[in-house]
Amino acid sequence: MSSAADSVRLSRVLMRTAEVFERRAGVAEEHAQSWEELGRGDKAAERRRVVRRAREAVLRARSEAARLERRRLELDERERRADERDRVADERERAADERERIADQRERAADERETRLYERLIREGAEPGSARVSASPAVDPRRLFEVFMRTAEVFERSAALAEEHARRCEERGRGDLAAEERGVAERVRVAARRARSEAARLEQRRLEKLLSEWLEIEKSRGAFTVRATEQKQLVSLGGLEVKTRADRVDRLADGREIILDYKTGQVKSRGWQGDRPDEPQLPLYCATSEGTIAGAAFALIRTGDLGFLGYTDAGAELPAMKKMEVDAPASFGEQVGAWRMVLEGLAVNFREGQADVDPKKGACEQCGLRALCRIREIEDARG
């Protein structure tokens, strides 16, 4: 039986069969009585054997129907629980997306507010790097860096325009105006250079601070050595050859290894889940590595948010680590086995040219082919 619907159909057939046998037993019983009245005990005994067999068939059919009904109820219950799990997972995903959206919105609004503030300060004549600019409220060095870079670009464009104006003045024989314009161009170019150098100074300071905070985290780890950085490999999986590159491979004191991937941007904590994971690189490296892998993690190097996000075996924990969500939390070895199966499945599908139109949630929003794609029609048809 492959589905609840099949179980229901077969159960009905069995109940009808039981009814037929019951009727047959009833008729045979009447015949047996008639034969007895006629004094034909032999014929009556033969009919009673028919009655017995028919009643046994009734019991068998009813018990099989009851078994199928129990099975159907179990399947229904399992399906209901799976639906409920999906619903809860969807709900969580929607809530997480919404939180991300609100955080993005807030960040954008803060960006805009700060950008407007810095631009106003600079427009009003405050020198880049001056106390007035740098001591502005809630200075985020990264945003300040961007403002200086944009300011430098604006100054450079202004200098080019002044140069162009000077050239035209010269063509019209107005050497005096041309000299004036060249003076403007030079002053603006100096301002652009100052803005760029201030941006570089800020960025250097930010990176030094970030690096020293990161090294504090690394120092709090147990003994390890960096075995490799930017390690490139050609691996084979599901009949497909794939190039991998691990940012860093650390060897622990007991010989096991941890694979690290540096990230300065956002990483989804659900990126290792499902049949088509969003962040398959580290699982792929773990699934194809020949060494004994004890963990994989993103090394998050972001201002105000440093630490690890990953999954490790017992005894290989990393400091300041948040756990990546996985489908069914298990030992690290079992998790690697699960990733291997998922990735082999994807590799086989790719090799066989399987290209179903089945985009993941949110994929279409980033896609450049939306104008040509008929996914909406397919989704409408699916209801």
Point out which residues bind ligand SF4 (CB under 6 A). 357, 359, 363-364, 367, 369-370, 373, 375
3-state SS string for 180-247: HHHHHHHHHHHHHHHHHHHHHHHHHHHHHHHHHHHHHHHHCCCCEEEEEEEEEEEEEECCEEEEEEEE
Q: How far is the CB of 350 from ligand SF4 (least distance, A)?
A: 15
Q: What is the DSSP letter of 325?
A: P
Cβ proximity to ligand SF4: between 326 and 346 the closer is: 346
Cβ proximity to ligand SF4: between 131 and 371 the closer is: 371
Cβ proximity to ligand SF4: between 110 and 367 the closer is: 367
Q: CA-to-CA distance for 235 and 248, rounded, in angstroms?
A: 17
Q: How far is the CB of 375 from ligand SF4 (least distance, A)?
A: 4
* Cβ neighbours of residue 323 closer than 8 Å, sequence gap 6 or more: 269, 309, 310, 311
Cβ proximity to ligand SF4: between 29 and 278 the closer is: 278
Q: How far is the CB of 365 from ligand SF4 (least distance, A)?
A: 9
Q: How far is the CB of 97 from ligand SF4 (least distance, A)?
A: 17
Cβ proximity to ligand SF4: between 193 and 360 the closer is: 360
Q: How far is the CB of 361 from ligand SF4 (least distance, A)?
A: 11
Q: CA-to-CA distance for 257 and 31, rounded, in angstroms?
A: 83
